Amino acid sequence: MDVIETWNGKHATALQAAMRATNEEFARLLGVAVRTVAAWHATPATVPRREMQRALDTLHEQATPAERRRFDALLNPDGAAQAQALRVAIAVVVRGREVLLVCRRGEDSLSWQFPAGVVKPGGSPSAVAVQETLAETAVHCSVREHLGTRVHPATGVLATYELCEYLAGEARNVDAVENLDTTWVPIASLIRFIPTDRIYPPVLKALEALA
């Protein structure tokens, strides 16, 4: 997409994600308050004023080719799914005021994440979210709400987020090769395990509403 006729909150936050900028960094680039960027995340249909339309045009024009590709992928996820080498479904499983996490084994580090799995071409992200949660943690769940899709700022893969409801099962580490542990974490304590700037804003918003 070379031209945005009218920018809205969805377009603006997609550009932010494509540039891998925090709310503070993106606000500084545009010369606006951080709360303005946060409002775009909260209300994607918001249409910024004319001066901001021009500022967003300029920032988009200054974006690198890689940032433009990520921007296009965010706004056209169906087309991006064919172009991306990898697509994953991420399950945000809630049980009351708790959320399910797994501790991933990295090459030289460990990190807490939401259960996730690769979506094969033609596959259903919601089905994968449910299946991978069971395969990794022995927890049965069902999808409550689709939270959105983005090009993940750290990995570059197309990530689809599904808010899931706990149904049954005792959480345990079923996939000992990929994970070190799995546990339920109070939503209020989530940022002790995953930094705020690494959590997809719609996920954070959905969880804050449940905390």
pLDDT tier, 78 (very low <50, low <70, confident <90, very high otherwise):
low
- pLDDT value for 106: 67
Mean confidence (pLDDT) of the chain: 88
Q: What is the pTM of this model?
A: 0.61
- Cβ atoms 173, 182 nearer than 8 A: yes
Burial of 144 (0-12, 13-18, 19+ CB in 10 A): middle
- pLDDT value for 127: 95
| Separation CA 173–CA 110 (nearest Å) | 15
| Separation CA 148–CA 200 (nearest Å) | 9
From residue 14, give the alpha-carbon distance in Å to each of 33, 91, 196.
Answer: 18, 21, 18
